[in-house]
Amino acid sequence: MSDSLYLSLWYPNLRLAALADKMTAVLGAFAAHGGEARVYAATTWPINWNESPVFQRVYGRGERGAEPAEAVAESLELLHDDYAYEFQIGWSLWELETPANLPPHEQGPVRGDPGLDPRWVREPRLVRVVGYGPLFDEGAYEQDGHIRLEFGSDAAFLDEEGELDAAAARHVEENVRQLVELTAAVEKGSGATARLLWSELGESLAQRLAARLGVGN
């Protein structure tokens, strides 16, 4: 069963004024590790997630996007202890595309024809990168990190729905390597002293990978 995957980063004695540099470093690492160089959207949340944003801007994909430093400066212009700052940036992975989710013109005479083989394609997804003020949502940073990355479904790293043949294993391995390299890059580039890769169900991605690949059997 797929689960949402997160990376939490913590920094010692982080001052709110230093959050902008950390966020810029994290967003800037994506371009070298399968991601886009520009930010798709930025949102500033006051108090907690139930409140309406006080700032929101969709820049667009590709060249229409904003440079990380530009997006961070615009969003963090409203700098408050009880605000959270969310950015969305593109990141491409190998995904298993099945007949049911192909465009209609690619599905043949019958939509979702089971005779069509699933295929692996390089697909972009939006990653949410959130920087927390110390008082936002009653100090949520203590559990979620000063900065949290939300990668979305972990299915691309496990492919638990189907048989893990040689091609699937190769694509899953490439996705995992890209995740590991990005994780190391954002940790080093932003100067994080602690990090945690975790899922909503609290299960370890490393343990699930080992079980999926038959490690230790």
Q: Tell me, yes or no, whether 59 lies in a domain.
A: yes
Count CB atoms within 10 A of the CB of residue 31.
14
Q: How far apart are CA 209 and CA 160, in angstroms?
A: 10
Give per-residue pLDDT as tens, 79-107.
999 999 999 999 999 998 865 554 554 44
53 is in which domain, residue-wise? 4-92+125-213
Q: How many domains does the chain divide into? A: 1
Tell me which residue of 128, 215, 122 sits closest to 175, measured CA to CA. 122
The SS3 assignment for 128 reads strand
Cα separation of 212 and 59, whole Å? 39
Whether 208 contacts 156, CB under 8 Å = no
Q: Which tokens hold the place of 71?
A: 């997006």
Residue 111 lies in a domain: no
Any domain includes 58: yes
pLDDT digits (tens, 9 = 90+) for 179-206: 999 999 999 999 999 999 998 776 666 6
Is 115 inside any structural domain?
no
In a domain, 107, yes or no: no
Q: What is the DSSP letter of 184?
A: H
pLDDT per residue as tens digits for the range 27-69: 999 999 999 999 999 999 999 999 999 999 999 999 999 999 9
Confidence of residue 117 (pLDDT cuts 50, 70, 90): low
Hey, is 153 helix, strand or coil? Answer: strand
Is the pLDDT assigned to residue 109 strictly greater than 50? no
> 194 in a domain, yes or no?
yes
The reply to whether 101 falls in a domain is: no
* Range with the poorest average pLDDT among 26-40, 138-152, 159-173: 159-173
Sorted by sequence, the CB contacts under 8 Å of residue 142 that are 6+ apart come out as none
Asked whether residue 109 is domain-assigned, the answer is no
